[in-house]
Amino acid sequence: MNIRTLLTAAAVSLLSLAWPAHADGLTALDSFLREVDSARADFTQVVTSPKKSGEAAPRQRTSTGRFEFLRPDRFRFVYAKPFEQTIVADGQRLWLHDVDLNQVSVRAQKDALGSTPAALIASGGDLSALRAAFDFKALPEKDGLQWVEALPKARDGQLQRVRIGLRGNQLGVLEIVDGLGQRSELTFKGWQASPGLKPGDFRFEPPAGVDVIRN
């Protein structure tokens, strides 16, 4: 799997966030869902592929970018390095723009996301919606973060588990392991809650001249 494919797969697998916390974390999660309608942060993502026979160490790739969301059902991942790539959910459609490939793919958002991390973050509401899709287990506090593990109830093999590290109402770390054993760890910084985002900020128009693939 080449670098671009690896990072793209990790980005799309991202299209998987739950938001609980340790100990009394489910109460904190419910508070987060009810009180934090939107947020913005910078992120660093490290993708680690499963170690293959003969490799001294598993392969790792690092990317950086910016993430923002607005409930309900809108979010944006903007990858700046090493490849420019944007993923936007506008409430109805999911767009993926690969700048180097000069290509945009688009599909219905409800078909693309399902019970994924990003869908959980951007969806509105209450804790019961999360419990319908995930089983939660509180984990010990580590590195100043409260941790929870979310295991998907759907056994389709696309997602093994999600681990979330929270600092108050801020997301600190998100760890995702997909069905192939690939691990993605996103570390967030510069967290801004309620930054004044509007639905129109998540409108995406394919740039002129790009190939648009509709699924």
**Model pLDDT, residue 192:** 93
Closest CA to 92 of 115, 76, 73: 73
Domain ranges of the chain: 3-51+58-214
Residue ranges, the chain, pLDDT below 50 = 6-7, 16-23
- The CATH code of the domain at 3-51+58-214 is 2.50.20.10
Task: For 185-196, give the DSSP string.
Answer: EEEEEEEEES--
Look up the pTM and report it. 0.80
Residue 141 φ/ψ, nearest 5 degrees: -65, 140
Beta-carbon contacts of 35 under 8 Å, excluding residues fewer than 6 positions away, are 169
Predicted confidence at residue 22, as pLDDT, reads: 37
Report which DSSP code applies to 51. P
Average pLDDT, the chain: 82
pLDDT value at position 138? Answer: 82
- What pLDDT was estimated at residue 154? 79
CB count within 10 Å of CB 205 equals 7
Give the per-residue pLDDT at 84: 94
